[in-house]
Structure formats: C-alpha cells, structure tokens
Amino acid sequence: MLVMSSGVPAQRSPLETSHKVQAASRVNGAKTTAFKHSGTSNNISAAEIRSNYEQRLRQARENEAQANGTEDSSTNDQGDAEHDEEMPDEPVESTGTRKRKSQAALKAMKAAKQKKEQAKQDDDARIFNSMASGKKSGSLLPGQLENCEYCKKRFTVTSYSKTGSKGGLLCPPCSKREELRDRQSKKSLANKNKRGRRQNVSKILDGIVQSSAQALLRLALKYACTPSIHPVILAPELKVADHITDVDEFGDLPPDLVLSLSHILSKRRALTSLTLDLFLRGDVTAIDIHDCGKLEEDDFHKIFATMPYLERVNLRFAGQLKDKQLEYMMNHNKFIKHIHLDASNLISNEGWQNLFKTYGSQLESLKLYNLDYSLDDKSISVMAKHCTNLRRLKLKTCWLLGDDALSSISTLSNLEHLSLDFLKETSAAALLEVVDRLGPNLQTLSLNSFKNADDTVLDMIHQRCRRLSKLRFSDNCICTDTAFALLFTDWENPPLTYVDVSGTRDVDNANPNGPEDPVGLASAGFQALMNHSGKHLETLNICSCRHISHTSLSAAFDGTRNKYPCLREFDISFHTSADDFLLLSIFKSCPALRKVIAFACFGIRDVSIPPGVALIGGLNAHHNTAQQDTMKVIDQMF
C-alpha cells in the first residue's frame, strides 16, 4: 500500500489496478500450466497451450473493459490537466528552418517521383520483354523461386529483380552486371555523339559538308587496314592513324592516295621514324611529309639515301634539317627540281648558298617558309644569280629579307608565280621595281603585309600585269578605295579566278568609320571588282574590308539579276553589316557556293543554309546545319 507524506493511504487508479490484475493472471496461468504439466516436454499439448493463452487474453480484455467503465469524468479532467502540465513547451520554428524543411520535402518528393517513373519504365520494359519472349510478366511473384536466365542459379524473386534479354529474370549478381553494362553503353553512346559533333565541326572548318554517303575511296583512306602487303582495306572499326604501326608497307598505291595518307597522318601527328618507312620507295620521284616535327637527323639521311631519283622535296616543320643533311642531299640526289622547306632554321646562310649554287638552273620551284635565323638578302642574291630558270617562288615569313632581296628577285625574268610575305618593312619603290619587271609574265601575284605599298603599286599592277588569274593584295592600310576602283576598271587583264584583298582598311581606333575618302577596298572598289571578274571568280576574300556598305553588297548579290556561277568560297568575316537577308541573297546568287566564312558577323543568326554549304562562323550556324541534316533524314524516311 502506498502512503502519502501526510500519512493517508494513496488510492490506486483503475488503470493501475487493471495492470496488476493482468500481471497476476499471467503469473497464475504460468503456475497452473507448470503444475498441470510437470512432466517431460513431450507430454505438453500445443492445442492446450494455445487455448490457455487465448483464455488469458480474453480475461485481460474483460478486466481492462471493467476498469475503463468505472472511470468518472472528473478523473479524466484531472488526468488531462496533469498531462498538459507534464508536456514541455514546443519551440517555435524559425522561417529559415521551415524553408529548409520545405525544400528538403520538395526534393524528397521529386526524387520519389523520379524513382516511381523509372520503376514504371523498368516495368514497361520488363513487360515488353516478357511479351516478346512469350512469357507472362506476372507469372512470378516476389518470394517465389526462379532460375536466373544467365547463370541458371536458383534465387528468390523480389520486386527489384531485373529482366534479361530473353524475358527471364536475373539473380542479384547478374542484375548488377546488367545494370553496369547498360550504364557503360549509355556513356559510350554519349561519348560517341560528342566525338561525332566534334568531327562534324572539324569538317566544316575544312570546308567539308557531308550531304551524302562518303565515297568508297575516302572511306578506305579514313579507315585502317590489316597488316599485309596491300593494307588499305575497308574496315570501319579501325582507323589508319591509330593502327598505322601494324602496316608493313603501302604497296603499289598511286601517288595521290599516298599524299592523302600523308595528310591524315600529319594531322594526327602520327609521322615518326617508324611510320616514315612507309613513304620511302626507291622508284618514286616525290616525297611529301607535312609534319616532320618528330623526325631526327638520321631520318632525313634515310629519306635522301632511299630515294635517289627525287625531283620534288616537300618537308614541312623540318626543324632537325641541318647543313649536314642538306650537303648529303646535294651529293646523292642530282635530279631535284622543286624544293619546299618549312621552319628549317638550323640551316646556315652558307648552306642555303651552296644549295642554290649546286642545283642552279635546274631548280624550277622554290618555297621557303618561317625562316627567322638565316636566308638573308645575300643568299637571295646568290639564288637570283644561279637559279635563273625559277618559275615559281614563294617566300613567306622570312625575317631577314628586305629591299635588297626585292631588287634581286626582280631579275628573275622567267618567274610566272610570285608570292611574297616579308616581316621587314620595305619601300614602295622596291616593290614597284618587282611589279614593273616581272608583271607582264606573271600568272599569279601574292603580296601580303607590305605596309608601305601605296596607290602607285596598284596602278603599276593595272599597267603591267596582263596574264593574272590570281591576285592577293592584303594587310594594307595605305591604298585607297579610288586606287582599287581604278585597278579593276578597264583592266586588260582577263577575269580573275582568285582574289584576296582582306585586311585592306583604315586602322584608327579614334575614328572607326574611317576618313571621308575610304582607305582600303570599299564600296566603289568592290563594285568595280565584281563587274570585272565576278562571273569567273571561284574564291573571294574580303575579310575585314569593313568600309564596304551593306547597300553595295546587296546590289552585287541581289539573288535575281546578278549570278556568279563559279564562286565556291567566300570570306566576309568582320563585316558587321552582314545579316541573314544578305547571306540568303549570296546563297541565291552563287549556286556553286560550298564554303562561306563569316566570323564576327553578328547579324547572321537564323539563316537557312542550303545543302552542301559549309557556314563557318555566324550565330547558331552549327545548330542550323544540324537541324537541316535532321530534316533531310526525315524527308528521306517519308
């Protein structure tokens, strides 16, 4: 009995009395059972134990019901009050806490929704596979046993069991492997699509638009070969550059295919001392290696020793070519007529002079690029003295050449193709001498980055040149639009097929619109150019000629009256006035157009690109091309 501090016995509540009664009942029941079945465990009846257990439960429920019935309302009110006093005050949540909880709840709901959708997709796939395999998807329920479709092991079916390729169920290990395989296939497909997009952009930059299936010959060059005597076999799963080390030799491939292979390997930087042997054939008269960056000195010795009948030597980025290798070439290769060397900066001036003296009058073509250490004016003087039969001369980015070199070049009376690009500043008088002496015999003339050339040079070209088919006069900020207009007006030269007047404009940041008398090719000069050569032009470059107005361009390319059937490449980069309407008019006026370069033409946004045309630059150009290709595929399907 409980006694309070005042000495008065405490009254027990009906609920407490009920609990005591239930406990006593359990004890009595246990004693009764133990007393009744005091024998061995084999004499205990399960039915009797269960009946006793149910009897005790019924008795406890009756006692609890009686106790609840005797409780009055005052006791309930007192219990509620005591319960309220015992409950602590709940803290009030802050706004940030409620916001975080709501965001977490939203995320959880979103994740559950996605999981539910994914499960629905998996169920649909499982049902489809089951229907395809002739099985019912609901034939097996979770908890049943089934043999795995792959490993044939017995396992318990769950709601997460995956379906195999034939409609059967998979065990957990096989399900994990199948899920991993699906994940890897999706990843490889994404990477393949990414590589495909990059290849398409690379092709567009090269001016190649894939409008139909590739030719068998191009596929045979692109895809690699088996290591045999005749290696070029169509095998789309292998690529030449990746497996070129497995090729023994090129066999009897024609020279144009060997040249294409050289381009491919050079682009992939795959030309090494090992792969060089594929291009070395003793009966061939030309060697074209467009990337010699990984070749050593002994490799150049090997080239000249293996190919004694060489007539054309074309070695680009030949940084390890020195005087010793050049001397070996002069002693063993007596038939060389064409020399094209790039970045051979380890050859001294004496080496160049000995080269010109050795080959002398038999040299017909000379192209030298990116020489910053040697090849000075004296070397060019020796060349002009001994190589009197030169027909083609190209000197690009040769740092040490100046006015004296121009004077020496002007004595080469047999030149038909001349291309000059000097870094040193030269005078207009020296350039006038070159054009005056060589102009009547020239077929192509390229003058790039001659900053001091003025209107008199253009006037001399107008007077002396009568056989030109190609003209490049670029990167000049002195010649005026009037001089360009006079050059192409009443010119006795036949229509040009190649014109490059890029970068001829006034350079003044304080006056971006230029002076009142336009400098460089502007509207009048452009109109005269199109009137003279527009019908026969194949390549036109007016990049950065920003003083040509939109009106002049629209008048030349109106899409109806003026047609230019031969124009294939057009560069209008950095013409801020160009827009979608102008480009669409260009497409209509030039039916043979294949390549348009429009960098920094921000007005070109959503123009429709014709099939087979590569648009380089412009906003959303790649998206428009891809969308057009997709529509072509849809048209073919339907």
Mean of pLDDT values over 322-350: 95
Say how far apart CA 405 and CA 347 lie, in whole Å: 19
The residue ranking higher by pLDDT, 221 or 352, is: 352
**Is residue 32's pLDDT more than 60?**
no
Give me Rg for the CA atoms of the chain: 45
CA dihedral 401, 404, 407, 412 (to 10 degrees): -60
Whether residue 13 is predicted with pLDDT greater than 60 in this model: the reply is no
Q: Kindly report, residue by residue over 602-619, the tens digit of the pLDDT.
A: 999 888 889 889 898 877
Which range in 90-104, 595-609, 613-627 is most confidently predicted, on average pLDDT?
595-609
Instruction: Determine the pLDDT at residue 468.
Output: 97
Is the whole model's pTM more than 0.85, yes or no?
no
Query: Would you state the pLDDT for residue 302?
Result: 95
Q: Write down the pLDDT at residue 186.
A: 80
Higher pLDDT, 597 or 93: 597
Give the model's confidence band at 629: pLDDT under 50 very low, under 70 low, under 90 confident, else very high.
very low
pLDDT of residue 9 exceeding 60, the answer is: no
Residue 419 has pLDDT above 80, yes or no: yes
CA dihedral 119, 123, 126, 130 (to 10 degrees): 170
DSSP H or E segment with residue 89: none
> Can you give the pLDDT at residue 238?
41
Give me the pLDDT at residue 472, please.
97
pLDDT for res 229: 32
d(CA 537, CA 190): 43
Does the pLDDT at position 592 exceed 70?
yes
Q: What are the two backbone dihedrals, phi and then psi, of residue 370, each rounded to the nearest 5 degrees?
A: 55, 60
DSSP 389: T
Which structure tokens are listed for 173? 């290990």
What's the chain's average pLDDT?
Answer: 80
- Res 345: pLDDT: 94
Which pLDDT tens digit goes with each residue over 537-557?
999 999 999 899 999 999 999
Report, as an integer, the average pLDDT of 494-507: 94
pLDDT in tens, 365-398: 999 999 988 899 999 999 999 999 999 999 999 9
Query: What is the pLDDT, as a whole number, of residue 46?
Result: 77
pLDDT of residue 391: 97
Report the percent of the chain where pLDDT is more than 70.
73
CB under 8 Å to 597, separation ≥6 — which residues? 543, 569, 570, 571, 572, 573, 616, 617
Dihedral sign from CA coordinates of 561, 567, 569, 573: negative
Distance CA(204)–CA(210), nearest Å, equals 9
How high is the pLDDT of residue 235?
A: 35
Extract the runs of DSSP E, i.e. beta strands, from 453-517.
470-474, 498-500
Which two structure tokens, joined as six digits, stand for 399?
């740092």
pLDDT digits (tens, 9 = 90+) for 267-312: 888 899 989 999 999 999 999 999 999 999 999 999 999 999 999 9
Predicted confidence at residue 623, as pLDDT, reads: 54
Q: Which residue has the higher pLDDT, 103 or 558?
A: 558
pLDDT score of 389: 96
Report the alpha-carbon angle 482-483-488, nearest 5.
Answer: 100
Q: Which of 199-208, 230-239, 295-304, 307-316 has the lowest mean pLDDT?
A: 230-239
Report strand pairing: 154-156 vs 286-289: unpaired
pLDDT at position 167 is 82
Is residue 409 within 8 Å of 436, Cβ to Cβ?
A: no
Identify the residue with better confidence: 506 or 213. 506
Residue 168: predicted pLDDT: 87
pLDDT of residue 187: 78
> What percentage of the chain has pLDDT greater than the value 90?
48
State the SS3 of 114-162. Answer: HHHHHHHHHHHHHHHHHHHHCCCCCCCCCCCEEECCCCCCEEECCCCCC
Backbone angle region of 543, left / alpha / beta, with phi > 0 → left and psi within -120 to 50 → alpha? beta
Per-residue model confidence as pLDDT tens digits over 464-486: 999 999 999 999 999 999 999 99
Non-local CB neighbours of 88 within 8 Å, separated by 6+ positions:
none
- Higher per-residue pLDDT: 126 or 253: 253
Neighbouring CB atoms inside 10 A of 372's CB total: 12
pLDDT of residue 458: 97
| Residue 289 burial (10 A CB sphere; 0-12, 13-18, 19+) | buried
CB 436 within 8 A of CB 413: no
